[in-house]
């Protein structure tokens, strides 16, 4: 049998780009003596498949893609992928939109406009999507073992079945067309514990050449051997510019901001810390300097000892109440919920609804939200809409979840503007270092946090409301 006759028999009368690549592959195989009467080895099948697909080097150049597809009932899905592990799906139908996204670190969903946490198992599968089409192509470079599993007929097409093991928990099966060496189907067991034991396969049809990449435009998703859904792609862009913020969550309401913060930062927030504060107060006539000894215990305890650790001049915030001690005696108390305590740690101890109620009690408009730039960073602004003034605000960093600025109005109507100008890292936690306070734009006080202890030994009676404790962490630290 001549090589030309064999190539025509395999590729058919129309030699398109794919068939010419196959012909060249077969020429190499015949000339090198690889094509023999016995079945090909897994290495020979792999080489033929990679050559038909365009080669490993070419696929390594694919760093991002965007695809548009349509499914049943008018559902449109746009997928965005960026290597190595960022992936997003945007679902649209009848004017409604839902989003699933993984930003390389965390996964999230937005359904009916509300933020939801993604299951860890689903995060694993989302992170693998950007390299879904080339896993087998790069198998040899990555050192993944390949095994010949035999032959099977898939949808009337004779296929070689091979397997690839990426890890102890990640094994995949591939069915490669015996004539064209195109990939007909891929299968694997779900790595999502919620789908344990489910075998998912994807059948491919309608391959098209997109900038030199052979991409299937029809996919049939099959669960445990039964068709679940078919996806028909209408458009694909290769290597579009996709910035990282596309995949990261961007809150658009206060409710979603709180839910996102609970998901994003819960594992790394401090339960308590203490510090000495160097306080400088500016008045029209003089500048005063003092040391304050401060204690924060989340979710709702905050103590300031003015000038001396046990001098008896102390403010205690417990719950939503401020208790003022002077000379060791309780002189008064007022309702004063503390926004810093809530946003820095309190939200991790309560539901989103409870946190929203707390903010409302603080005179913050929980329906008002916007973004704004402060010191070169785009921040989440809670409490005001665009161009609104004379309302309380909290400015939150999207990078750290920390309060960077707060604005409130005092009883005399003047604006009090608190700005955290510098943070410091203490035991892996971001804690304020320098804070400035302005009243109607005029600097009135600066604070510097020193001697910060992120794992303090706080006396058990330190927040006793009947009488001030005779023990203080600062004295304990001094005696060490």
The 10s digit of each residue's pLDDT in 296-318 is 999 999 999 999 999 999 999 99
Q: Do domains 61-249 and 254-479 have the same CATH topology?
A: yes
Q: What is the pLDDT along the chain (480 residues), one digit of tens a residue?
A: 333 323 333 444 344 545 555 555 555 554 544 454 577 899 999 999 999 988 889 999 999 999 999 887 889 999 999 999 999 999 999 989 999 999 999 899 999 889 998 988 899 889 989 887 788 888 888 888 999 999 999 989 999 999 999 888 889 999 999 999 999 999 998 888 888 888 999 999 999 999 999 999 999 999 888 877 889 999 999 999 999 999 999 999 999 999 999 998 988 888 999 999 999 999 888 899 999 999 999 999 999 999 999 999 999 999 999 999 999 999 999 998 888 899 999 999 999 999 999 999 999 999 999 999 999 999 999 999 988 878 999 999 999 999 999 999 988 989 999 999 999 999 989 999 999 999 999 999 999 999 999 999 999 899 988 888 888 999 877 666
Query: CB of 164 within 8 A of CB of 140?
Result: no
Query: Is the alpha carbon torsion for 97, 76, 117, 86 positive or negative?
Result: negative
Q: Dump strand ranges (E) for 71-156.
A: 76-82, 86-93, 96-102, 107-111, 114-117, 146-154
Give me the pLDDT at residue 65, please: 95
Q: Is 463 helix (H, G, I), strand (E, B) or coil?
A: coil
What CATH number was assigned to the domain covering residues 254-479? 2.50.20
Q: Which residues contact 321 (CB under 8 A, 6 or more apart)?
A: 333, 334, 335, 336
Give me the pLDDT at residue 136, please: 85
Q: Is 286 helix (H, G, I), strand (E, B) or coil?
A: coil
Give me the pLDDT at residue 25, please: 55
Cα–Cα nearest to 235, from 217, 212, 220, 219: 217
**CATH match of 61-249 with 2.50.20.10:** yes
Give me the pLDDT at residue 291, please: 96
Give me the pLDDT at residue 23, please: 54
Neighbour-count burial for 276-315, b at 16+ CB within 10 Å, e otherwise:
bbbbeeeeeeeeeeeebbbbbbbebbbbbbbeebbeebbb
Report domain extents, the chain. Answer: 61-249, 254-479
* Rounded Cα distance, 428 and 219, in Å: 46
Query: Across-strand partners of 150?
Result: 161
Cis peptide before 457 (omega within 30 of 0): no
Give me the pLDDT at residue 12, please: 41
Give me the pLDDT at residue 20, please: 52
């Amino acid at each position: 049998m001549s090589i030309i006759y064999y190539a025509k028999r395999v590729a058919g009368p129309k030699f398109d780009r794919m068939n010419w690549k196959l012909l060249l592959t077969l020429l190499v195989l015949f000339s090198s003596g690889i094509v023999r009467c016995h079945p090909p080895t897994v290495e020979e099948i792999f080489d033929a498949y990679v050559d038909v697909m365009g080669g490993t080097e070419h696929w390594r150049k694919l760093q991002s893609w965007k695809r548009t597809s349509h499914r049943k009932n008018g559902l449109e899905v746009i997928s965005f992928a960026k290597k190595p592990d960022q992936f997003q799906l945007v679902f649209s139908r009848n004017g409604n939109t839902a989003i699933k996204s993984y930003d390389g670190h965390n996964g999230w969903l937005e359904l009916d406009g509300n933020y939801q946490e993604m299951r860890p198992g689903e995060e694993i599968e989302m992170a693998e999507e950007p390299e879904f089409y080339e896993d087998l192509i790069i198998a040899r470079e990555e050192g993944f073992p390949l095994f010949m599993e035999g032959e099977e007929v898939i949808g009337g097409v004779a296929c070689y079945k091979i397997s690839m093991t990426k890890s102890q928990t990640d094994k995949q099966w591939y069915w490669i067309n015996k004539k064209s060496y195109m990939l007909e189907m891929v299968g694997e067991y779900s790595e999502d514990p919620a789908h344990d034991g489910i075998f998912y396969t994807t059948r491919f049809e309608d391959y098209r050449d997109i900038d030199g990449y052979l991409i299937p435009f029809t996919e049939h998703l099959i669960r445990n051997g039964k068709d679940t859904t078919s996806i028909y792609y209408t458009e694909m862009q290769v290597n579009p510019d996709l910035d990282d913020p596309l995949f990261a969550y961007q809150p658009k309401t206060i409710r979603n901001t709180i839910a996102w913060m609970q998901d994003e930062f819960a594992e790394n927030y401090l339960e308590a810390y203490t510090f000495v504060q160097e306080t400088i107060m500016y008045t029209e006539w003089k500048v005063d300097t003092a040391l304050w000894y401060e204690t924060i215990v989340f979710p709702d305890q905050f103590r300031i000892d003015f000038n001396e650790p046990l001098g008896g001049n102390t403010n205690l915030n417990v719950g939503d109440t401020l208790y003022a001690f002077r000379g060791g005696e309780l002189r008064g108390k007022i309702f004063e919920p503390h926004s810093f305590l809530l946003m820095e740690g309190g939200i991790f101890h309560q539901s989103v609804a409870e946190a929203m109620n707390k903010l409302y009690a603080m005179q913050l408009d929980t329906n008002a939200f916007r973004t704004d730039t402060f010191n070169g960073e785009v921040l989440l602004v809670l409490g005001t809409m665009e161009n609104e003034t004379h309302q309380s605000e909290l400015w939150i960093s999207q990078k750290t979840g920390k309060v960077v600025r707060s604005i409130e109005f005092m009883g005399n109507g003047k604006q009090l503007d608190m700005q955290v100008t510098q943070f410091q890292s203490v035991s892996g936690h971001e804690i304020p270092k320098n804070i400035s306070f302005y009243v109607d734009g005029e600097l009135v006080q600066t604070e510097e946090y020193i001697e910060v202890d992120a794992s303090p030994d706080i006396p058990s009676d330190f927040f006793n409301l009947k009488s001030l404790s005779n023990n203080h962490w600062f004295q304990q630290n001094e005696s060490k």
